[in-house]
Chain A
């Protein structure tokens, strides 16, 4: 009997054959929460469930990334509350500056192929990059896992993306992620897992870009079958492979040979056009970072485009590495020095300006080119500000010219 990767992961977790559509109760392998929501989850556990401690501390991991380091007394106090709780309960946590939860859990080998990884964060779909079932939940759901060790889930059907060909110069994983949004729409994968096929050659960082954005189409999870680089870096269970005759809820084909650089224009993630449509438009700020595009390879791509040139004086360029590890990698060669010499500023590894809380919040009518994943109105600051979502290559090319620029035109 053939199964989707999602059905295989749930079958393994439950020790019986599971099919899409079933509601199951499982013990997730990992439950992640970060500084923004963990204080509230502690309150639900203590005040609503009436419990002082968690059922299974080994299942849990905390990160400090959303407002890191703390920007106000309030956020500082909330962070201290999380640290104290973590120490009392023996829960692993990653301090301010270590990086974005979704990056750190993969770097640390906490998210593994075949695992069920749930997070109090919608971009927990990112763990599909290593072949895990990753999904986001709200605070009460997560508090219930803290209290019981378990949660209920409906096993989702799977939508297949069949990719053909390879990226052309100047085009990369972010363009594919945006293109998928353009094809499927912001709700086109609601309640579904997306499986991305035809990408065995794609390195880990590109898989992370794709899977982080699965949730932008409403998906419950996004999984790239763990092949290629993933098999070299992780232990892939022998049951975790794609059955050749699996049938999918829907299949969408995308040809990379003809894919152009894509850009999401304000204020919707699926409001995506070819870059030529908006080339030449003005903007004020570039934000290179986030769980979608804040890794070494993203900084490297930008540095190679910018090398030897200066960033336009019309714009500011903020870089927030996804983790301390990625920052160190960018320091080991001339990536970081190139970007700083060109006029970019580096902020603490973490989420940075992505949610508009610090390190690059937008003012009235500010226009930002972001390598992030959401351009909702007001997400990065004032509701009159605008966000365009772009690849690192488009960000870098546009930084030099000071207007939106196709990297192939340089």
Chain B
């Protein structure tokens, strides 16, 4: 069982990792330590491997900084379930092999700090004795995530996805 960390709409990349905490600015620190460092200090201190982020519309809007995804990936976040995602964030997450699930109908049924079990094989989330169905991840994205991200995909297949 893992925790849900619930966020609102339009969570921007400056909240996920402020630019001042970029690897460029702190070359000797682990960017994972900066995840939500100012916007959600409890998450920053307490989130553990497998925990799930649940959010409203447009998660990850703002800059192209891949280190926002990298920080959550290094924290071993199990998945991000949101009503919708910003474009560059979505792409970055697929490329780093972090699972994103666009599931608008599920988000409102989940609360902050709920315990849950995520079953990606069966596309479902078990929470408070109920089983919530999750939409399938689009095949194009699933292929890249399953390969282990974009670099692994290209190395294994000798071509780009879609080529």
Which residues of A does B touch, CB under 8 Å? 23-25, 35-37, 39-40, 44, 48-49, 66-67, 72, 74-75, 77-78, 119-122, 124, 136-141, 143-144, 147-148, 150-152, 186-187, 190-191, 218, 220, 268, 355-357, 361, 374, 376-379, 381, 383
Contact = CB atoms under 8 A, between A and B. Distances in A.
Contacts of B86: 187, 190, 218
Contacts of A25: 160, 162-163
A356 B38 CA distance: 14
B135 interface: no
A122 B19 contact: no
B154 to A, nearest CB: 6
Most buried by B among A78, A187, A356: A187
A186 B25 CA distance: 28
Interface size bracket, B side: 35 or more
Interface in B33-50: 38-39
A138 B163 contact: no
A75 B25 contact: yes
Q: For the complex of A and B, list the 10 residue pairs with the smallest distance between their C-beta atoms, beginning with the closest.
A: A138-B66, A138-B92, A187-B58, A376-B14, A355-B19, A152-B162, A140-B95, A139-B66, A136-B64, A383-B38
A391 B11 CA distance: 25
B12 to A, nearest CB: 5
Nearest to A40: B23
Given A122-B64, A190-B84, A357 B10 contact: no
B134 interface: no
B158 to A, nearest CB: 10
A78 B162 CA distance: 34
28 contacts: A36-B24, A37-B64, A48-B151, A49-B155, A72-B25, A74-B24, A74-B28, A75-B24, A122-B64, A122-B88, A138-B64, A138-B65, A138-B91, A139-B67, A140-B92, A140-B149, A144-B150, A144-B160, A147-B154, A148-B160, A152-B160, A268-B10, A356-B20, A357-B25, A376-B15, A378-B18, A378-B38, A379-B18
A137 B24 contact: no
Nearest to B31: A40
B61 interface: yes
Contact of B91 (A66, A120, A141, A150): A141
Nearest to A354: B19
Nearest to A217: B61
Contacts of B154: 49, 144, 147-148
